[in-house]
Structure formats: C-alpha cells, structure tokens
Structure 1
Amino acid sequence: MNISTQDVQHVAKLARLNLSSEEEQVFTEQLNAILQYAEKLDGLDTEGIEATTHVLHLSNVMREDVQRESLPTDKVFANAPEHEDGQFKVPAVLE
C-alpha cells in the first residue's frame, strides 16, 4: 500500500494543517517508508509466538497503606495566599 500526496493533503485538511508542497512531499515519503517497514514485519514468521500487550513486564509497586497523622493546619496554610475557615480561598470561577 502506498500513500499518495492526495492522501496527505486529505489528512492535513482533516487536521486543519496548512502544509507547503515541500512538506506534503516529505510526509508522503516518510509515511511510505513507515508502511514499507510494516510490510517487512508482515513477512515474519510469528507462528508459536505468544501475543503480548507490552514488551516489558509491568507490575504495580504498592506500599502498605498505613494510617498516620496528617499535617497541622497551620503548616498546611503556611504558604497559602489566602485561607478562611480552614479552607483555601480562591477566586470565583463561576458566576
């Protein structure tokens, strides 16, 4: 499969990109190179290879959930520009 300059122009229009003719040509060449590489991968024998969702083994690193004392309010509000009644005071964003 090959990407034409018209395909690049169509995608650029959908993405609302203004591309110069030089950029269209460069992107056409780059996209075709990517597709040619993907075609090489299609030729690989993957029989007996287990499908993977990620190339690296990932696991969640969890710590024990330990209850501890929270910060005192004077330290919490020490750097706050404004606070009132134990809450941060911020400018209104709704009318």
Structure 2
Amino acid sequence: MTQHLTERDVRDIATYARIGLTDDELVQMTTDLNSIIDTLKPITEFDLDGVTPTFHPIGSLSNVMREDTERESFTQEVALENAPKQQDGSFLIPSILGEGGDR
C-alpha cells in the first residue's frame, strides 16, 4: 500500500475538523485513509480525453421556479385568527431562552 497521507497529515486534518484522536486511533485512521485512496486509484486510469464535462447529472435541467411576483396575501387579522396567543398584532410565543414566559 502506498503512503499517500502521513500521520502528521491525518493529525492536521483531525485538528482542523476538531476530531480528537488517540495515538492508536491516529495510526488506524492513517491506515484506513491510505487504503481508501488506494481503492479509488482505478478512477485515475480512465481515458477521459474528449469527454465533455457535465455540470448536472440530468443534463439540460433548468430553473423551474416561478417568477417572484407580488400578489394579494393574508391580512394580518386572518394570519392571526388561529394563533393560540397574540399581542399587539403579533404572535405571542413561549420564550425558550432566558427567564421564561411569553414573548
């Protein structure tokens, strides 16, 4: 097996990703990552000369979203009709931070 990554490389990656590794885990992770890279080696052997890159697997997919146009909507009263609690034209919801109560 070829040594693509050193233990220092793996430790740096783990530090960057904020993953704590023991010395034993570092050795195992280095072995595993190098094995994965070796497994992917056949991909580099394909002849891709003349192959046009694709940017989306579905090909000519285009944006199918509607235009963002202004239209009539709910009134404030209708929007608040089913609110369990409301205050001054707004939804009143339980506080999840701080001293509690409704906000």
TM-score bracket for the superposition, by shorter chain length: 0.5 to 0.7
Q: How many residues align?
A: 90
| Equivalent position of 2:21 in the other structure | 19
| Equivalent position of 1:70 in the other structure | 73
Q: Identify the structure with bigger relative contact order (alpha carbons < 8 Å, sequence gap 6+).
A: 1
TM-score (norm 2): 0.60
Structure 1's 14 and 37: CA in aligned 2 closer, same or farther, altered over 3 A?
same
Structure 1's 60 and 6: CA in aligned 2 closer, same or farther, altered over 3 A?
same
Structure 1 residue runs of 5 or longer lacking an equivalent are none
Q: Percent identity?
A: 31
Structure 1's 26 and 55: CA in aligned 2 closer, same or farther, altered over 3 A?
farther
Structure 2 residue runs of 5 or longer lacking an equivalent are 96-103
In the alignment, structure 1 residue 7 sits paired with structure 2 residue 9: yes
> How large is the RMSD of aligned CA atoms in angstroms?
3.0
TM-score (norm 1): 0.64
